[in-house]
Amino acid sequence: MKRSLFAIAAVAAMVGCRHEKPGSAVGIRIYPTIETRVTGLYFDPGDRIGLSVVRAAGNFVVNRPMTYDGSAFTAPGLLWYNDLNERSTLTAYYPYAETGVPTLFRIAADQTTGTESSDLLGAVKRDVTPVAAPVGMVFRHLMSQLTVTIDNKSDGTVTQVVLGGLVPAASVDFEAQIAVAAADVAAEDIRALEIETDRSYRAIVVPQTAALSVTIHTSDGKSRTQTIASALLESGRRYNLAVEVTNIDISLSLSGEITDWEDGGSLESGGNSGDDGPVASGELEYGGETYRSTAIDGTVWMAENLRYMPDGAELQNGMWYPSDGASAVAEKGLLYDYTTATGAETRAAKTSGVVRGICPSGWHIPQLAELEALIASENRPADFLCCSGFWIATSGRYGAANRGYLLCADAPVEGQCTALMYTATAAPQLVQVPSENGITVRCVRD
């Protein structure tokens, strides 16, 4: 039976024993993955989430505050239960509320000083067992984001942007990852945050279908309003509304590329963008874990190192922790030798065609041409490659932690395989490495 990644750390330490000894409980830690923050790309040290853990017998933890230390969320004295076989569901949200898990969440009506308090994030992880390594959780935006881009052709300067007709409160179900406009709550005006004077404003709003009005106030004392009769604002989507301002009136239209959150498309239709091109980013569920994915020049890659434990695989026998140890598995993945990574496929298949190996169905170990394209791409994210170190089989030790290798399906010489070598400062290049060495794996979508 396939095992979840984070069971590996606990199982290895106990030499096959399935139950912890009394008093050996470890602390609960959460390693967050996040799509995009309103105020940045990640959590900041000191940020707090609320965590709840539900076992079969009932609640184990309810709304426990956890603080981000720069790598994971932790809480003093928060320990796992002792039964390693019992599974539970973890739900978390940001920002933390001392009054309890918010089933009703209100955005700020006045967002002129900032939008962060209105950016509600939620995460859920099912079938989790007690583990020593941090539990990876993907935090998703539950509100909608609206950016107003202004082309001002009037004699005055824009002083304020007000969004009207919107319900400011959402009913939230964190386990289902759903937020909808609360019933029996009256619509209010939302004052948007100035991003760039006279050019760009932004607000976080509750997902809903509404008659959305946009009012532009200018320094000459005038105000101009237009309304979209039925604007569909969906959870987790970002919308960009272009507004042309003249001395007499304003006009509204969708404008500009939406890049941070999921593309919300047209406000009038409320649907997706209709783009038939490759998906820019997404997620993949595999082996009980969630992986981010990203498209680079039309090829969809895992955006994280694989941390999957195949049936029959054992640590220190074809598979190893990254050089930083078990605690780094959530961030840096596992290391695999060539045989473990490519599975039971024959050498002929490995060198002549697509090799699935330990990748999920519909994905494969990168081919030589795909790694060559990755090296040449100008669109590869700067943080795409993660240095996990490597395992040197002949000496039984780790190589430099600031270096990484990415496995290729190509194995032109017996005992050697091709890999992409990289460091934090040097450009990646293709090299040959001993096939028994442990290196990282990224899967590519077929």
What does the DSSP assignment read for 364-377?
EPPPHHHHHHHHH-
Residue 151, domain member (yes or no): yes
In terms of domains, do 134 and 151 share one? Answer: no
CA–CA separation, 80 and 84 (whole Å): 9
- Angle (nearest 5°) at CA 111 between 93 and 180: 45
Residue 338, domain member (yes or no): yes
Per-residue model confidence as pLDDT tens digits over 14-58: 333 333 333 356 899 998 865 544 344 468 889 999 999 999 989
In terms of domains, do 162 and 131 share one? Answer: no
In terms of domains, do 226 and 324 share one? Answer: no
Four-residue CA torsion sign, 333, 338, 342, 344: negative
Per-residue model confidence as pLDDT tens digits over 61-106: 999 999 998 878 999 999 999 898 899 999 999 999 999 999 999 9
At residue 42, the pLDDT reads 66
At residue 345, the pLDDT reads 52
In terms of domains, do 186 and 314 share one? Answer: no
Q: Which has the higher per-residue pLDDT, 2 or 197?
A: 197
Per-residue model confidence as pLDDT tens digits over 122-145: 999 999 999 888 888 888 889 998
pTM of the model: 0.55
Per-residue model confidence as pLDDT tens digits over 408-445: 998 878 889 999 999 878 889 999 999 999 999 999 98
CA–CA separation, 179 and 177 (whole Å): 7
Give me the chain's average pLDDT, please: 82
In terms of domains, do 183 and 127 share one? Answer: no
In terms of domains, do 417 and 288 share one? Answer: yes
Coil, strand or helix: which one is 348? helix
Residue 114, domain member (yes or no): no
Which of 82, 106, 139 represents a domain boundary (last residue)? 139
Report whether pLDDT(255) > 70.
no
Residue 269, domain member (yes or no): no
Residue 50, domain member (yes or no): yes
Which of 205, 230, 263 represents a domain boundary (last residue)? 263
CA–CA separation, 104 and 184 (whole Å): 12
At residue 253, the pLDDT reads 62
Coil, strand or helix: which one is 361? coil
DSSP state of 327: G
At residue 344, the pLDDT reads 55
Report whether pLDDT(236) > 90.
no
C-alpha atoms less than 13 angstroms from C-alpha of 402 in its C-beta half-sphere: 3
Report whether pLDDT(263) > 70.
no
Which of 263, 297, 319 represents a domain boundary (last residue)? 263
Number of folded domains that form the chain? 3
Confidence band (pLDDT; 50, 70, 90) for 5? very low
In terms of domains, do 197 and 58 share one? Answer: no
CATH number (domain holding residue 27): 2.60.40.2620
CATH number (domain holding residue 240): 2.60.40.2630
In terms of domains, do 79 and 21 share one? Answer: yes
Q: Phi and psi (nearest 5°) for 121?
A: -115, 145
In terms of domains, do 180 and 124 share one? Answer: no
Residue 443: closest CA among 286, 280, 306: 306
Residue 374, domain member (yes or no): yes
In terms of domains, do 134 and 148 share one? Answer: no
In terms of domains, do 427 and 311 share one? Answer: yes
Per-residue model confidence as pLDDT tens digits over 290-308: 888 888 887 889 999 999 9
In terms of domains, do 434 and 299 share one? Answer: yes
At residue 351, the pLDDT reads 43
Residue 1, domain member (yes or no): no
Confidence band (pLDDT; 50, 70, 90) for 233? confident
Residue 106, domain member (yes or no): no
- Residue 92's domain comprises 7-98+119-139
